[in-house]
Amino acid sequence: MPEFRVNPSILAADFVNMERELGRISSADFVHVDVMDNHFVPNLTFGLQMVERIAETSPVPLDVHLMIDNPEKWAPGYAEAGAASVTFHLEASSNPVALARRLRAMGARAGVALKPGTDASSLLETIDEFDQILVMTVEPGFGGQSFMPETMPKLQQLAAEAKQRGSAVWLQVDGGISESTIAQAAAAGADTFVAGSAVFGAADPDAAIAGLRSLAAH
Ligand code: DX5
Ligand code: ZN
């Protein structure tokens, strides 16, 4: 596994041609799959049935991002569907550590996500209960928004805590990641980069992934 991961978000892909779109990002580390319920966020994508088919079809493992209420009810189903990682939102969860333990017990990497306005301090003591922490760099719900640099201090705080504890947790950023913002996020401590429009909007998505990876490493 490379030190820096680029996970294209299929939110920016052509939903009607998903199999073909998945084939355009075969060099990705994971494919990022945004599940939205029109309650936790003001937008709707797809649910478990679609993700099961994507898991069967995708040449790369799935990184599922659940922007939904009541993840305690739904998240285990995505682990069952074969997602390599399942990330739920801290703001939506009644017991994040218990849910992360359940996901890990099912063989998935457990992730927790924070909206831009959510403080990370409640996570610091339990950082090792998670395999990845997602710092949202836009308000969740839509692709194509501008990167919010004001989220970087939170990323730095998590990176410092992880380093101090010698933690293997991955620090992920999602929203507005492009050739012009990725270095800033990497400098603040991110190692896993979700990119929707910057990958699927490119003429050659695999080349865009390679370009992002090399910018993250510098
Ligand atoms: C937003 C989603 C993101 C989105 C990112 O709520 O979680 O994964 O697809 O899209 P870009 O990279 O276009 O900002
Ligand atoms: Zn996402």
Q: Are 65 and 40 in contact (CB under 8 A)?
A: no
Q: Is 65 in the pocket of ligand 1 (CB under 6 A)?
A: yes
Q: Is 191 in the pocket of ligand 1 (CB under 6 A)?
A: no
Sorting pLDDT into bands at 50, 70 and 90, what band is 80?
Answer: very high
Q: Out of 29, 63, 131, 174, which one is annotated catalytic?
A: 174
Q: For residue 139, report the distance from its CA to the centre of ligand 1, in Å.
A: 9
Tokens 């640099």: give the residue.
Answer: 149
Q: For residue 4, report the distance from its CA to the centre of ligand 2, in Å.
A: 17
Averaged confidence pLDDT in the chain: 97
- Residue in 105, 96, 102, 89 with CA at minimum distance from that of residue 127: 96
Q: Is 34 in the pocket of ligand 1 (CB under 6 A)?
A: yes
Sorting pLDDT into bands at 50, 70 and 90, what band is 172?
Answer: very high
Question: Would you state the torsion angle of the CA atoms of residues 135, 61, 208, 11, taken in this order, to the nearest 10 degrees?
Answer: -60
> Which residue among 14, 35, 138 has the greatest number of ligand 1 atoms within 8 angstroms of its CB, and so is best to mutate?
138
Burial class (CB in 10 A: 0-12, 13-18, 19+), 89: buried
- Half-sphere exposure of residue 212, counting CA atoms within 13 Å on the CB side? 33
pLDDT at 1 over 60: no
69 has catalytic annotation: no
**What is the C-alpha separation between 201 and 179, in angstroms, rounded?**
12
Q: Region 178-198: what's the mean pLDDT?
A: 98
Sorting pLDDT into bands at 50, 70 and 90, what band is 218?
Answer: confident
pLDDT at 87 over 60: yes
State how many domains the chain has: 1
Domain that holds residue 14: 5-216
Q: Is 194 in the pocket of ligand 1 (CB under 6 A)?
A: yes
- The pLDDT, as a whole number, for residue 2 is 57
Q: Out of 34, 63, 131, 191, which one is annotated catalytic?
A: 34
CATH of the domain at 92: 3.20.20.70
